[in-house]
Structure 1
Amino acid sequence: MEALETFVVESTVREEGDAYRSIVADIITELVLGGAIGRIKVVVRPEDSLFQMAVILRGSQPTVKLSDMASVEVSNQMRKELTISIDQEKYLPELLEKLWARYGRMKVFQPERKTLKMLVDDTGSEVAFLNDMVVADPRSTLQSRLVEMAIRATPEGFRVRYHSIDGHKFVFVASEDPLKPEWIQEAQKMAAELTEGE
């Protein structure tokens, strides 16, 4: 796990604080979030049935277009065939899903690991479309992994939950009981305190 700038876990029961710190660290490692999270603070108050988390993310990652990871060319004008040559395989599964959704599985072929071939109706407009096509949005997958991290760290039975992401701040609050507005405000204040001095 990449070192976090700030990693604070507070609990009114000291032993629980140490246990939650270990749990949260393990979850961050499992979900490969160490590079995305800069600062994190967790507060557990068992007497109030309350779990709060504030996370400050490191710099945001831009969307990945097909032109960022591959090149597209017309390989056979007569057959209206395009060839996509993959430079970065990291987003290949997402690319295949998008191509299958647009063209159908029967028109997309993968003769080699880093090569895709496909049949299209209009090669000119499809080359332009494909070069601009967003293959992956790391920010949206990051948000779902943050929510998963928070839920996994939450004490069992804390099924009433709130989360929000605003820019590079992620806030999560959970309880067994209905959430009080001041609990959410406390978590937002925690996030604001983590950003002081930026």
Structure 2
Amino acid sequence: MSEKVFVESLDPSYQYGYGVLMLKVIAEHALSELSLGGALEELRILVDMRKPLVAVRALLGPPLPPIRVMDCARVQEAADGIHVVLLDEGQAPFLAKLLREKFGGSLEQLDRWEVVVPAGAMPAKELERLVVSHPQERMGERIMDALERVIPVGFRVRYAEREGNSLLILASENPIPDGWVEEVKEALRKPPSPIPPEKMEGIRRKVEAAEILPKFKEGAMPWRL
């Protein structure tokens, strides 16, 4: 699997500093915990401890199509109406909401998996095409959640920019001048520089042994433990 998470320091003297290495661990953990591996093509993080500044650029993957009734349930016509049998439990609340909105109290609930839509209420083929949920919207929320986990608590001054499939966020404790934005964009024009695996081995062992990750969920900053 190709590497997706890159963390680099804008200060050459701190290229493999503790904060840089920890941010990579945190970012990888966030993507894994939120199941975002397929939603992002690349997550690139630039840090400068002197300013201080954290910049996160996410390249989003192809948009996800909407989930329709036919994607998560089996639709069968019968003498008593149209039977809708749930196949994907993850879509259960969205499907239930859709059917209630469309058919209200006329639905007959046979069990937790199956309901009957009254005969003549809607053609079965039309019912199959109804949109149950929009995964892209929920994916966007999870991506923002991941980015918030990467940005240290206290970095409340933000600059955000969205262009095409690229989302860029700068965060700092201090006002963000235009010069910082241009510095980050200039750095992002260059190919990412992966951290050598041997640099990550030690920090990963320390994280596993000391259970450091929960501290970051509580808001500790990588360079201020």
Superposition deviation, residue 169 in structure 1: 2.2
Residue identity matched to 1:95: L
Matched, 1:155 2:152: yes
SS across alignment from 1:48? coil
Q: CA deviation at 1:27?
A: 1.1
2: CA distance between counterparts of 1:136 and 1:189?
39
RMSD, matched Cα: 3.0
Letter in 2 for 1:83: H
User: What are the superposed Cα offsets for residues 131-177 of structure 1, whole Å, 9 maximum, x if unpaired?
Assistant: 23221222211111111111111111012234454443222222223
Give distance in 2, aligned partners of 1:141 and 1:22. 24
Q: Secondary structure at the match of 1:178?
A: coil
1:95 paired with 2:95, answer yes
Cα deviation 1:71-115 (Å, max 9, x = unaligned)? 4344456xxx432123433322221222234444x4445423432
Greater fraction of residues in strand:
1
Inter-partner Cα distance in structure 2 for 1:192 and 1:131: 46
Instruction: Output one character per residue of 1:21-72: Cα deviation in whole Å (capped at 9) or x when no partner.
Output: 1111111111111222222210112322321111223333222111222243
Amino acid at match of 1:145: R
**1:9 aligned counterpart, secondary structure:** strand
Gaps of 5+ in 2: 193-225
1:52 is paired with a residue whose SS is strand
Q: Which has the larger radius of gyration?
A: 2
The aligned runs of 1:46-195 (5 Å cut-off) are 46-76=49-79, 81-104=81-104, 106-119=105-118, 122-124=120-122, 127=124, 129-185=126-182
Instruction: Kindly tell me the number of residue pairs found equivalent between the two proteins.
Output: 187
> What is the TM-score when the length of structure 2 is the normalising length?
0.68
TM-score using structure 1 length = 0.75
Distance 1:142 1:43, change over 3 A: same
Q: 1:115 to 1:57 in 2, by over 3 A?
A: same
Using the TM superposition, give the Cα deviation of residue 5 of structure 1 relative to its aligned residue in structure 2, in angstroms.
3.1
1:49 maps to a residue whose letter is P
Q: Contact (CA 8 Å) 1:84, 1:115: kept in 2 or not? A: yes
Any gaps of 5 or more consecutive residues in structure 1? none
Report the residue type matching 1:135 in the other structure: V
- Determine the C-alpha separation between the residues in 2 that align with 1:185 and 1:115: 56
Residues 1:48 and 1:152: Cα distance change in structure 2 (over 3 Å): same
CA contact (8 A) 2:45 2:54 kept: yes
After TM superposition, the runs of 4+ consecutive aligned structure 1 residues lying more than 6 A away are none
Q: The residue matched to 2:42 in structure 1 has which SS? A: strand
Q: Distance in 2 between matches of 1:179 and 1:132?
A: 47
